[in-house]
Amino acid sequence: MAADEQYLMTTTKTSPIAAYEAEGVWVTDADGNRLLDFSSGVGVLNVGHCHPDVVAAVQEQTARLMHFAGTDFYYESQTVLGKRLGELTPGDFPKKVFFTNSGTESAEAALKLVRWQKQRPLVIGLLGAFHGRSMGSLAMTASKPVQRARFNAHTGGGTHIPPPYCYRCPYKLTYPSCDLYCAKILKELYFETAVPPSDVAAMIAEPVMGEGGYIVPPKGWHTTIKKILDEEDILFIDDEVQSGIGRTGKMFAIEHHGVVPDVVTTAKSLGGGLPIGAIIARKDLDYPTKGAHSNTFGGNLVSVAAAQAVLNVIEKEHLLDNARTQGAYLVQRLKELQRKYEVIGDVRGLGLMVATEFVEDPKSKAPAVALRDQILVEAYQRGLILLPCGKSTVRYIPPLIIQREEVDEGVDILDAAIGAALRAR
Ligand SMILES: Cc1ncc(COP(=O)(O)O)c(C=O)c1O
């Protein structure tokens, strides 16, 4: 850790855990401690650490051919994966895929594509959203001031509306009597004032807002928004970088919301630990000219082999079903904890994309930031790896292979961690 501080730039470190090896849902650190991973390496290891099928696919491909640049030459395996991703994403129409190396690069690729096609300058996003940290995606990221401070002058073209966050409704309304004002406001206020729809190429949104606090939009929000966008011929980009590849119990979380996006972005878990991302777009949105967009490593052969293995494992081991089953059980156990600790203001999520929001008390709902941070410390000291999100929220995103006993073990540690954090106040 001292060497990290000396030689590596400051990033987003959350806990002093130095991983040495891992298997399934368990990580062993440099001192030989075994920790239960409820973070999946920041949402990457949906099939678990070092899944033998992924390891075998990577080893086989690495020994044969690692790189030859699929953008300038041809890789058969990219076409097979591209076809498969097109079939896995919603929409019964032809699609095309562009491979990237990360989530932010997927967002960049999507944002460039919609701007090129529409020749309109603006993209609408949500306050609280996270789409990445490179300049283009950062224009749409709005989950914390620190992410944008000193960069604002260099990011452009994004305009944001308040999020569909029922626990803290920005309009202090209540669902469903609110009549989805948070969606309708796009047409009723934004399009009527500062945001001429004829200037808008697309809207980008996460189906469950991730870094912003695991916010699940209420039923009807997506269909209402999509109708408004369709009326103005505005494209819809579905950012599945965190929520996709089975995390919510569906292959892509947008399937919970009943709308069909024009472009889907993915990354994180697709490569089972190797860097790969992709955008899957309506075929007619493809560039008609060469050179408008490309890269060097996108869809690297080894990463593509890993991604195929990941998708095979999800099918073979019925991980969508397991995400739904264990996710429901996890929520049930967290709701039990909520009855014990009134500092748990809200329990929410879809599948195994679950979170609890910590508050000073359920009435004021004042965010309990210091308490949340202390719970993270108490948890890892007891052998549970957790991650924060939002202002005072903890997310629970174990690998989708997790079993009930491990859910119990994690929640029992969390129970002890909350108790200890409360005593330490
Ligand atoms: C929804 C979403 N989009 C994009 C990104 C950016 O991905 P990356 O960190 O791979 O650039 C993230 C990362 O957390 C994310 O959660």
Q: Could you say which of 3.40.640.10, 3.40.50.300, 3.40.50.10490, 3.40.50.1820 is the CATH number of the domain covering 55-316? A: 3.40.640.10
Could you give the dihedral angle defined by the CA atoms of residues 334, 181, 251 and 353, in that order, rounded to the nearest 10 degrees? -20
Query: Which residue minimizes the CA distance to atom 3 of ligand 1?
Result: 131
Ranges of beta strands (E only) in 101-209 are: 122-126, 158-161, 200-205
Q: Which atom of ligand 1 is nearest to the CA of 129?
A: 1
Contact 357, 392 (CB under 8 A): yes
Q: How confident is the model at residue 184 (pLDDT cuts 50, 70, 90)?
A: very high
2-47+342-423: CATH class: alpha beta
Ligand 1: distance of its center to the CA of 419 in Å? 32
Contact 126, 163 (CB under 8 A): yes
Q: What is the mean pLDDT of residues 399-420?
A: 98
Ligand 1: distance of its center to the CA of 80 in Å? 25
Q: What is the mean pLDDT of residues 242-251?
A: 98
Contact 246, 323 (CB under 8 A): yes
Contact 14, 387 (CB under 8 A): yes
Q: Which atom of ligand 1 is nearest to the CA of 102?
A: 10
pLDDT of residue 139: 98
Contact 206, 130 (CB under 8 A): yes
Which residues have CB under 8 Å from 177's CB, separation 6+?
none
Ligand 1: distance of its center to the CA of 250 in Å? 19
Contact 177, 357 (CB under 8 A): no
pLDDT of residue 371: 98
pLDDT of residue 103: 98
Q: Which atom of ligand 1 is nearest to the CA of 137?
A: 4
Q: Which atom of ligand 1 is nearest to the CA of 242?
A: 16
pLDDT per position as a tens digit, 265-275? 999 999 999 99
C-alpha 21/C-alpha 295 separation (Å) is: 32
Residues forming beta bridges with residue 389, ordered by sequence position? 393
Q: What is the mean pLDDT of residues 392-410?
A: 98
Q: How confident is the model at residue 33 (pLDDT cuts 50, 70, 90)?
A: very high
Residues of the chain with CATH 3.40.640.10: 55-316
pLDDT of residue 404: 98
pLDDT per position as a tens digit, 283-334? 999 999 999 999 999 999 999 999 999 999 999 999 999 999 999 999 999 9
From 131, 135, 245, 297, give the residue whose CB has the most ligand 1 atoms within 8 Å, as the site to mutate.
131
Q: Which atom of ligand 1 is nearest to the CA of 42?
A: 14
Ligand 1: distance of its center to the CA of 131 in Å? 5
Ligand 1: distance of its center to the CA of 135 in Å? 13
Phi/psi region, residue 402 (left: phi>0; alpha: psi -120 to 50; beta: rest), is: beta
Q: How far apart are the first and last CA of the chain?
A: 27
pLDDT of residue 94: 98
From 242, 247, 297, give the residue whose CB has the most ligand 1 atoms within 8 Å, as the site to mutate.
242
pLDDT of residue 150: 97
What average pLDDT does the structure give for the chain?
98
Q: What is the mean pLDDT of residues 347-356?
A: 98
Ligand 1: distance of its center to the CA of 178 in Å? 31
Ligand 1: distance of its center to the CA of 104 in Å? 6
pLDDT per position as a tens digit, 45-92? 999 999 999 999 999 999 999 999 999 999 999 999 999 999 999 999
Which residues have CB under 8 Å from 70's CB, separation 6+?
78, 99, 298, 299, 300, 301
Q: What is the mean pLDDT of residues 258-269?
A: 98
From 101, 216, 241, 303, give the residue whose CB has the most ligand 1 atoms within 8 Å, as the site to mutate.
241
pLDDT of residue 367: 98
Which residues are near ligand 1 (CB < 6 Å)?
102-104, 107, 130-132, 206, 210-211, 239, 241-242, 267
Which helix (H) or strand (E) segment holds residue 110: the answer is helix 103-118
Q: Which atom of ligand 1 is nearest to the CA of 104?
A: 11
Which residues have CB under 8 Å from 421's CB, separation 6+?
371, 374, 375, 377, 378
Ligand 1: distance of its center to the CA of 100 in Å? 12
Q: How confident is the model at residue 27 (pLDDT cuts 50, 70, 90)?
A: very high
Residues of the chain with CATH 3.90.1150.10: 2-47+342-423
Ligand 1: distance of its center to the CA of 179 in Å? 31
Q: What is the mean pLDDT of residues 370-380?
A: 98
Query: Which residue minimizes the CA distance to atom 10 of ligand 1?
Result: 103
Q: Which of 216, 212, 220, 205 is nearest to 124 (CA)?
A: 205
Which residues have CB under 8 Å from 329's CB, separation 6+?
404, 407
Q: What is the mean pLDDT of residues 16-36?
A: 97
Ligand 1: distance of its center to the CA of 106 in Å? 9
pLDDT of residue 70: 93
C-alpha 294/C-alpha 389 separation (Å) is: 32
Q: Which atom of ligand 1 is nearest to the CA of 265?
A: 3
Cα angle, residue 407 at apex, residues 332 and 39 outer, rounded to 5°: 110
Ligand 1: distance of its center to the CA of 43 in Å? 9
Query: Which residue minimizes the CA distance to atom 8 of ligand 1?
Result: 103
C-alpha 422/C-alpha 425 separation (Å) is: 5
Q: What is the mean pLDDT of residues 370-397?
A: 98
Cα angle, residue 98 at apex, residues 63 and 291 outer, rounded to 5°: 105
pLDDT of residue 73: 95
Which helix (H) or strand (E) segment holds residue 35: the answer is strand 34-37
